[in-house]
Amino acid sequence: MRLLLGAEFQAFLESYSQPPSAGLRVNTLKTTSEAFQDLSPYPLSPIPWCPSGFLIEKDTQLPPGKHPYHAAGLYYLQDPSAMAVAELLNPQPGNLTLDLAAAPGGKTSHLASLMEGEGVLIANETHPRRVWELAENLERWGTKNAVILNESPERLAQAFGDIFNKVLLDAPCSGEGMFRKNVGARREWSPQRVVSCALRQHAILKQAARLVRPGGMLAYSTCTFAPEENEAVIAGFLEDHPAFELDSTRALPGAAPGKPEWVDFPGLQMIDTADKVSLQSTVRLWPHLTIGEGHFVAILRRSGNTLPTRFVSEQFQAPSIEALRRFHEFCSEHLIVEWELRRLALVGSYLYWIPPGMPALSGLKAIHPGLWLGTLKPGRFEPSHALALALRRDQARQVVSLDTDGAISYLHGDTLERSGLDGWVLLAQDGFPLGWGKRVKGVIKNYYPKGLRWL
């Protein structure tokens, strides 16, 4: 970095003596940025490139990750520079969007908010354990139109083909942008790791390109400063994929352009490219120039017409008459929501709402093929936690409002005493659902998932 940055290096080095920035992104599926600013228990200041993003001053008494608002999915704690990626890709409501390496779900939840619950968001994670962390975060976000997969990029490209309007590859990288806040990232770094990451990124980006429809867009991002993993990867990609070009139509406040000259930096053994000037259209966020830990983003557009891509929609097993009867009884008694019956699907004992326009999954491993509504049990339907977090307060017939202390008690798994009608109740703080309880004779049994309960 001393060689690459030259006169800037000292400022870059000094940035590491500063504490890392703490960012919070508001869930605009549940509230507005303006409304949350009035509600927030923490001081906030805006992030220039993300209308729903704020710098936050942490409270040691009640950290933002331990506030009931976080459990209700009102915000996601995220590095400010990471918020730039989804803003630049800019998926629209109704798009068919793919997040290829989605865990833990920060950028995926941002995509979901920008899509406003319309269209289909496929969130994929290759790691069999991290995919459940992704599922948990999207569940808390109240995402209704997400499909969560656990597959390799190669199998996705083979199964889907070039059908997606927007594809995001937040590539696994050497993590240099994590050094300021992550001891593990510092310990794991080596020059060899940079090289191995670059090779892996080339391979994954090649598969990502197969998934972008003509006229569609592909975002490539990393949280490293290494040009081998950034400009050089994009230079190699452009050489191999003449149908793609870098898009520079959206400016990003506080961002610096890419460094095409680093592709030829002595000793880095970069790939040759015929056109390096366009690499200035990539984006670098630096910790010494702006807020955040640092990111690299390239937005690539595939040439061609923008007519809708034809694909086969998924066909799932329709619920039995008995299953539909149980679900209808639950909804009639406890909800004020109408569900389109033809969008309901039964997977084992789990009942799902399938987002319209979802492509066929073709034998791919689906963790959740849509919004998990609940489980069919002998003689009854039991609602899921995902359903509670996807509802608005006015969509439940019985809502129990909690103050902060009551909400914390509920999140610990405590039983609550509240008078009222027997049956399922939605527990909420300030009108934002936290989860289910079941009231019997004034006592509410706690149905907050045991794996999520606060210790």
Q: What is the pLDDT of residue 87?
A: 97
In the predicted model, is pLDDT for residue 369 greater than 80?
Answer: yes
Residue found under tokens 């490539």: 220
> What is the tens place of the pLDDT at every residue in 79-131?
999 999 999 999 999 999 999 999 999 999 999 999 999 999 999 999 999 99
Q: What is the pLDDT of residue 267?
A: 58
Closest CA to 372 of 342, 395, 335, 344: 344
Residue range 394-455, CATH number: 2.30.130.60
Q: How far apart are CA 205 and CA 334, in angstroms?
A: 46
Pinpoint the residues of the chain covered by CATH 3.40.50.150.
Answer: 2-21+79-302
User: Of 173, 197, 223, 331, which is the active-site residue?
Assistant: 223
Rg of the Cα trace of the chain? 23
Average pLDDT over residues 229-247: 95
Average pLDDT over residues 5-19: 94
Listed range (49-53, 146-150, 172-176, 251-255) with the worst mean pLDDT: 251-255
> What is the tens place of the pLDDT at every residue in 243-276?
999 998 777 888 999 999 998 766 565 555 546 6
Average pLDDT over residues 284-308: 92
Q: How far apart are CA 215 and CA 166, in angstroms?
A: 10
Tokens of 366: 């689906």
Q: What is the pLDDT of residue 275?
A: 61
User: H/E element holding 112?
Assistant: helix 106-115
Q: How far apart are CA 433 and CA 389, in angstroms?
A: 6
Q: What is the pLDDT of residue 88?
A: 96
- One-character DSSP codes across 257-284: E--GGGGG-TTS-PPP-S--GGGGGSEE
In the predicted model, is pLDDT for residue 181 greater than 90?
Answer: no
Q: What are phi and psi of 283, to 5 degrees?
A: -125, 135
Q: What is the pLDDT of residue 59?
A: 66
Closest CA to 398 of 429, 438, 449: 438
197 is catalytic: no
In the predicted model, is pLDDT for residue 179 greater than 70?
Answer: yes
Q: Tell the CATH superfamily of the 2-21+79-302 domain.
A: Vaccinia Virus protein VP39 (3.40.50.150)
> What is the tens place of the pLDDT at every residue in 388-405?
999 999 999 999 999 999
8 Å CB contact between 432 and 392? no
3-class DSSP assignment, residue 318: coil
